[in-house]
Amino acid sequence: MRRFVLLFALLAAAVTGVLEYRRNLRPSSRAPLELRLAPATAFQGLTPLERRGFGVLFKDCLEYRTGLAVVESEAVLPGGPQEALTVSLERPEGKVRMHLVLQRAGRPVRTGDLNADSPDAAVGAALAWLGLEDRARGLLLPRDPAFFWDLARMTASRPAGSIEGDLDVCGRILAQEPGCAGAWLARARLLNNHILDDNRAPAHLQDRCEQDFLTALALAPDCPRAATLFGRFRTEIGNQRAALDLLLDAIRRSPRAPRLYEAVAYAARSAGLLEGASRALARRDALSGPSRGEADITENTYLYRGELDRFETVLGPGSATEPDALRDFYRGYARLLRGDRAGAARHFHRAAATPGGNRAFMDLAGVYELGLAGRHEAALEELRRLWAERIPIRIPDGEFTFKLAEAFGFLGSPAEAQDVANRAFAQGFGCLRWYEQSPFLAGARGTLRWAALEQHLSERLALMEATYPRSRFEF
């Protein structure tokens, strides 16, 4: 009997050990996973755009109905995820070879080399290697290898000048693979950025953009990136209610997708719901660890709440070798709030000179650079030109319009600051606290017109708070 008990105990210990070993070879479903792309030299046969786009598409598949909280390495701050997956990929003679390294607490626990005939098959093999169900590949990725790399480029790029070539590429993919949600999403994103950048974009493109987002979500309803991008689109056209409804439903479907909470924070702060926005970011950090957020966004919730130290920490110091027009603009803006004019000028100069950067923020950085150099008339002339160009834009982005109002205030034109602030409100930007607290608008306050604007802001905020009380943000 003792021998039997001992044998049973040894067998149980062995089974437990095997299960523990297997558990250690796959990502934890409860811990955040940092996705790292190996250096460009490890992506042989790929262009920089293909490498970046592959990372986005692979992340889509990693988080589609898997329960993983995935965060890009460039967004990670100290204290971030303890688990990391490093990916590299080569394309030898039309094949695909992927190398994976799974790390835990900085130490490799598993490595793998996967070979496949196509990129989407390589993604499937990687998901199987990680012990994840393959629920997204057939929805999000094209099967044709050539289309896959076209989609990767479209996913990574931002329109520069003419958009026709990019749209033609998306159209060719969709003509052959109309069920590919990733291609619908890529076209929606391209159209969104084009409309934001070009005031000559025809009106029908906004409707087409919205329909492409809806089609992508109809085909892949649990894709966090699709809901995130569509939520931002709705926020920027001034429809925060539709954005929040969409995003809160997406969180119900994918409660561990960090980027959804950032999109909620964006819509909520734009509506003036700063507590809700803060709760969303707190939940994001609980899932992903401390994060600076996805590329091409900044966490202005911290700014509007007066948490300037935290705002600057999340922005990071920046680098002359890795310019980022949006974040460099806000680094300059934060320095200006602190009274550091020399530091502000350096960041604004870097933002204005960013190759292929966000055109709107590059131009606005140039305005501040002129103003800080004492060239007020030239700065005002450039700001008026920028404002005139933005008036007809189809996706107005009221938050950016508010930044133009602040620039008029900074340059000593309170009447124009008032006019543009009124337009920001009409475009949907309703963060009452920052209308009241922004030091750049001090010269515009105290008039009857400003009092009327604040009254309208207060009334709208009361309606939003009634529809989206604290309980809606208890994640």
Q: In this structure, how many other beta carbons lie within 10 angstroms of the beta carbon of residue 377?
A: 9
Per residue in 201-259, pLDDT tens? 888 889 999 999 999 999 999 999 999 999 999 999 999 999 999 999 999 999 999 99
Q: Quick check: is 369 in a domain?
A: yes
Structure token digits, residue 245: 């409804």
pLDDT at 15: 43
What is the number of structural domains in the chain? 2
Cα separation, 453 vs 51, whole angstroms: 47
Average pLDDT, the chain: 92
Per residue in 4-13, pLDDT tens? 545 554 554 4
Per residue in 43-86, pLDDT tens? 999 999 999 999 999 999 999 999 999 999 999 999 999 999 99
pLDDT at 12: 46
Percentage, residues of the chain above pLDDT 70: 94
Q: Quick check: is 175 in a domain?
A: no
Q: Quick check: is 190 in a domain?
A: no
Cα separation, 196 vs 218, whole angstroms: 24
Per residue in 308-355, pLDDT tens? 999 999 999 988 788 899 999 999 999 999 999 999 999 999 999 998
Instruction: Check pLDDT > 90 for residue 384.
Output: yes
pLDDT at 18: 39
Name the more confident of 193 and 445.
Answer: 445
At 432, the pLDDT band (50, 70, 90 cuts) reads very high
Please tell me whether the overall predicted TM-score, pTM, comes out greater than 0.75 for this model: yes
Q: Quick check: is 3 in a domain?
A: no
Cα separation, 198 vs 148, whole angstroms: 28
Among 90, 122, 138, which residue terminates a domain? Answer: 138
Among 138, 156, 183, which residue terminates a domain? Answer: 138
Name the more confident of 61 and 195.
Answer: 61
Instruction: Check pLDDT > 50 for residue 19.
Output: no
Per residue in 433-456, pLDDT tens? 999 999 999 999 999 999 999 999
Instruction: Check pLDDT > 50 for residue 20.
Output: no
Cα separation, 189 vs 153, whole angstroms: 12
Report the largest interatomic distance among the alpha carbons of the chain, rounded to a whole angstrom. 97
pLDDT at 1: 56
Cα separation, 224 vs 77, whole angstroms: 22
Average pLDDT over residues 271-275: 98
**Which CATH number characterizes residue 462's domain?**
1.25.40
pLDDT at 159: 67
Per residue in 115-130, pLDDT tens? 999 999 999 999 999 9
Per residue in 21-41, pLDDT tens? 444 556 776 799 999 999 999
Name the more confident of 7 and 185.
Answer: 185
**Which residue, among 404, 424, 386, has the nearest Cα to 238 in the 3D structure?**
424
Cα separation, 61 vs 223, whole angstroms: 9
Per residue in 280-296, pLDDT tens? 999 999 999 999 988 88
Residue 107: give the domain boundaries.
Answer: 23-138
CA angle 252, 274, 450 (to 5 degrees): 140
Per residue in 343-367, pLDDT tens? 999 999 999 999 888 889 999 999 9
Q: Quick check: is 390 in a domain?
A: yes
Q: Quick check: is 310 in a domain?
A: yes
Q: Quick check: is 101 in a domain?
A: yes
pLDDT at 195: 87
Among 138, 161, 192, which residue terminates a domain? Answer: 138
Cα separation, 403 vs 44, whole angstroms: 42
pLDDT at 170: 95
Residues 6+ apart with CB under 8 A from 9: none
Q: Quick check: is 158 in a domain?
A: no
Instruction: Check pLDDT > 90 for residue 91.
Output: yes
pLDDT at 164: 87
**Which CATH number characterizes residue 106's domain?**
3.40.50
